Amino acid sequence: MPTIESLLNAAALPDSPTPRLDAELLLAHVLGKSRSYLHTWPERELDAPQLERYEAMLARRQAGEPVAYILGQQGFWNLELEVAAHTLIPRPDTELLVETVLALLPATPAQVLDLGTGTGAIALALASERQAWQVTGVDRVPEAVALAERNRARLKLANAGFVASHWFSALAGQRYQLIASNPPYIAADDRHLGEGDVRFEPSSALVAGADGLDDIRLIIAQAPGYLEAGGWLLLEHGFDQAAAVRALLSARGFGAVESRRDLGGHERISLGRLINE
């Protein structure tokens, strides 16, 4: 039977930007071991069921399916989250949003809302760091709400909860000290929609009209009705959308409007504080 080393050396993933990493993640998952185990025991042979499972997973990756969907899990912040094809795969870029939220509010009791929660990544990361906060995540897709709740239950985060809602539709009468969102922000004709992992992700979690700003416009327009006085709104957006988002925030009456840059130097989130409503 083939060994760990021979399988990793033979893995052919020409369309992946990280072929070796992908192969290691798949093989480690099949074996129920860490990636470091693969390097420690390269001569270990796989049995027939393990080999069959690994080859099936490798074939899915060769067809372009994201590793996170194949494994059914993805790391975000310091959490391991269940993922599925009806939710966006949590990305490291979104951790900037979490970091900024944590820096804005004190660790005292607060009501925080995560719009378009998907796997629950943002809400659960915030809840894990701030025990005094009550964090609510909403999503229009019932399967996503159920998945986020499974993640919450497994992580035992009692200060988070999830609700089925199309943006604010099910939140009448609620007010929050902070609202955060990683909404769809890709233009409908963006060529990247036909490339890489994005091909397999739900378009409803990615595409927002001709310029990618339809959902951001809606959130900015409606958010003041759900924010406490002085409350914050934070939005993740595309690398070239910051100026447009700042203009929308200012026009809606938000103050202290600014954008924050990711490690690559791109303005990836914008925020503002409610002045009057």
What's the pLDDT tens digit per position in 168-187? 999 999 999 999 999 976 66
Per-residue pLDDT at 192 exceeds 60: no
- What is the rounded distance in angstroms from the CA atom of residue 200 to the CA atom of residue 196? 8
> Domains in the chain, please, with CATH?
4-64 (1.10.8.10), 85-274 (3.40.50.150)
12 confidence band (pLDDT: 50, 70, 90): confident
Is the pTM above the cut of 0.85?
Answer: yes
- What is the rounded distance in angstroms from the CA atom of residue 65 to the CA atom of residue 75? 17
Mean pLDDT of 57-66: 90
Read off φ and ψ for residue 42, nearest 5 degrees. -65, -20
What's the pLDDT tens digit per position in 109-129? 999 999 999 999 999 999 999
Which is higher by pLDDT, 204 or 163?
Answer: 163
